[in-house]
Each structure stands twice: as C-alpha cells, then as structure tokens.
Chains A and B, each alone.
Chain A
C-alpha cells in the first residue's frame, strides 16, 4: 500500500496516524506541507527515522523546493518528482490519502 500524507506534522496528526497504521513493507509519500516532516531537527524527523526501518519513505522534491527546505532533507528519504509520484501510484495496488 502507498500512503500519501499532505499535512504538516506540527499542524495535524495525519502523519502520526499514518505511521501508526502503516504496515511493514508499505510506502509513505510526503507531499505539500507534509514534506516538513522529512526535514532535519524536527520532532517528526525522529519518528520518521524510526519508521524507516519498516517503511519506504518518499518526499516530493518540487514541494521541498517551494518551501526552501530542499537542503535539509533527512538521510534515507527518497526524493521523487511528479513522474515518480505517478510511478509510485502505478506500482502499488492501493493508495491511502491521509486527508
């Protein structure tokens, strides 16, 4: 399953819920304000780092660039562009958007 999160981890609890309910081997794609979770020095970063043992984590690069945080991305996070976003959706049987 591909989990898609688009809300900031310091504004909503969607990322927490996603990480709690995503099962081993699933993929998590961070887009829009959720990309802040993939940046160093945040509380979400530690949670995300721990979750990476079981989950593959991706972040949408155009959204990181637009927020001025492209240079702060955590190690282990895979960056994708819109084409990569489409590939991820196509590769997984189901997508879950955490609105």
Chain B
C-alpha cells in the first residue's frame, strides 16, 4: 500500500481517510465528537471522506431545531465542511431508504451509493475511523 501513497506539497504523506458515521445525532455525543475529529483532520491535508450508514444518516437531516432540548445545533456545521475541503460525503442507499428518507431530506449535497459500492470504497482507504 505504501508505494501507492501520494506525497503532499510539504513532502508529507497523503493517506485516504474515511470517517464512518453510524450514530444518530443529539441522543449521544458520538456524532458531534466525530464531526470535531473530521474538522481537525482537515488541518493535516489528508484525502478525507465521510460515510453515513445506519442511524448516521439522521445526522444530515434538514429542519433541525434544538432550542427545546438546550443543546447546540451542530447540523449547520456539515455545510461548513466544504470550506475545509471535505467534499466527499457518501450516504448508504439502504440505510437512507430503511428510514423513509430521500436525498432531499439532507442539509448538504451527498453521493448516495449502494452497500456494494460503499464496501468497495471502504476497501480503498488507508484508514477508516468509525464513530
């Protein structure tokens, strides 16, 4: 694998990172903490993508209003990812459909892919970090 790694401008190694999100937001801290890790990773000029599987697809819902539960609304942070050069957002079709959702329900533009396609993409990564 090492011989396939790209070099970044400063001479460092660029690895392919996938952040795999499988938890719903707000009920537990995983989604928010995971998002923080992704934003931090942007500082290291790596090839980063995010995948949303199972309840993780709920992280991307539009129309979030957290005023009633006294928690920070971090849904809009997904829109800021583009500014950090994190533009590859993948949603597993099976997870989305099992929840009665479509792409129109999401706050950001995503690429919807089948389990098989996502599995292939996962195999191409150097590092997969799961929250």
Contact = CB atoms under 8 A, between A and B. Distances in A.
A95 interface: no
Interface secondary structure of B, over-half rule? loop
B49 to A, nearest CB: 23
B65 A66 contact: yes
Contacts of A42: 98-100
B69 A63 contact: yes
Contact of A68 (B55, B61, B100): B61
Contacts of A65: 64-69
Interface in A17-69: 32-33, 36, 39-43, 45, 61-63, 65-69
Interface in B84-100: 98-100
Contact of A39 (B55, B64, B66, B100): B100
B99 A66 contact: no
Contact of B63 (A10, A11, A45, A70): A70
B24 A66 contact: no
A92 interface: no
A11 B65 contact: no
A62 B68 contact: yes
B27 interface: yes
B65 to A, nearest CB: 4
B63 A33 contact: no
Of B25, B27, B55, chain A has the most CB atoms within 10 Å of the CB of B27
Contacts of A61: 68
Nearest to B62: A68
